[in-house]
Each structure stands twice: as structure tokens, then as C-alpha cells.
Amino acid sequence: MIVIEQILSKQEVALYRKQLQTVNWDDGRYTAMGMAADVKSNRQALASDPDVQQLANQLLTKIGATPKVVSAALPHQIFPPCFNRYSESEEYGFHVDAAVMRVPNTQVVLRSDVSMTVFLSEPEEYDGGELIIATEFGEQSIKLPAGYAVVYPSSSLHKVTAVTRGERVAAITWMQSMVADSGLRQNLYQLDQSIQALIAAGNTDRTELDKLHHVYHNLIRQFAQL
């Protein structure tokens, strides 16, 4: 799990929330696959709505321009973001995201390697609604400020707990990574973040930084699947 701080500003979140109040919403179960539909209880903005498509495209641009997301996911393809909301008593039980997804109204098919949730409601606006991700270290609970995001392996069991007060609004998307192996992808992320930290510190010789960059990019060349 990697937290992305402030992928959307507070002003951008407010604009998203305002526009989402005017779009059409449908039963979220219609977009779930297999057993996931049995445990899904929420509403999802209609992907065919032009306003929803505009918001999704805006968020896609933000995702592609956020260095930490690129570093963590190494995205090759990104599914158009979807917007969902959970009102009181609504939840999404434990499930695994579909391994292969077709982008609506296209022939584009992608493998879901990395899932991403962008929070559009402030934590104090609702009770419950935590994103729970099962990891090798136990269940991790995530409830972030509006505009923050979390990325995690799509292969993880995860759920959204029942909302007991207020409303939880979020955007979700999935990415096919250039590097399918999650362990290798994590190592590449850590290497890249270390390089960026050394650059920011400003006290590492340029020759040494070039050597690290050389290793990082050659590893991507070796393992990238395009």
C-alpha cells in the first residue's frame, strides 16, 4: 500500500463533489463481476454520462502527472476512473478485483495489477466506510483526507466497511503495470524513491546518481512488458 498525498487540491475536490451532485447514479452491483456483485451495496455514477466522462478524463490527467503514482504503479494502461458513493448502511464486502477488464465501448483489455482509490469525502463527513485491505501483515484500515489516494495490489482481498453516518464519495481505477510482478514493482519503487530523496538532499555526487539511474532504468528495460 502506498499513500499518495493530495493528488487533488481541496478546490478540485470541491468542484468534483459539486459536479457529481448533478450526474446520474446507478446500482453499483451492475458493474461488479461474479461473486463481487453479491457483496456490493453502493451507487456508481453512470460512466456514459458526459459529465462523468469529463471528470474521469480530468482525473486520468492528474494520475499521469503525479510522479509518486507513476513510480509506484509504472502504469502501461489505466482504466477510466469510476465514481462511487456509499450512504448509510451501504458497504462492499471482501472481494478481489477482476484480473482482466475491458474498457467500456472499446476493444481495449487490460490486466488489473494495481488498484487505486481517491478519497473525495473528508473523514469527518462520515462514520465507517474504511477501506480494509488484507495483507501479509494483517488487515490494514485506510480512511484518508479528501484529495488523497491509496494504491495497492489488485490481487489483494479488500472491502469497504458499512457507512453508519453521512456519505462516502470516492473515485476508483485500475492499472496494468509495465512490471507485472508486485515484489519487483515494490523494489523498483523503493529504489526510485531513494534516488529522488538523494536528489532532493543535494549532497550526492552526480556521478553516483547517474549510476543509480542507470541501474533503475536498465531493470525496467529488463522486466517491462509492453
For the annotated binding site for 2-oxoglutarate, the residues are: 168
Cα 211 to Cα 130: distance, rounded to the nearest angstrom: 42
State the residue for C-alpha cell 549532497.
203
For the annotated binding site, the residues are: 95, 97, 158, 168
Query: In 16-167, which ranges are E strands?
Result: 25-27, 40-41, 43-45, 75-78, 82-86, 91-95, 100-102, 109-111, 114-119, 126-128, 131-135, 138-142, 149-153, 158-160, 163-166
Cell of 94: 471482501
CA end-to-end span of the chain, whole Å? 24
Cα 15 to Cα 13: distance, rounded to the nearest angstrom: 5
Cell of 72: 509506484
For the annotated binding site for Fe cation, the residues are: 95, 97, 158
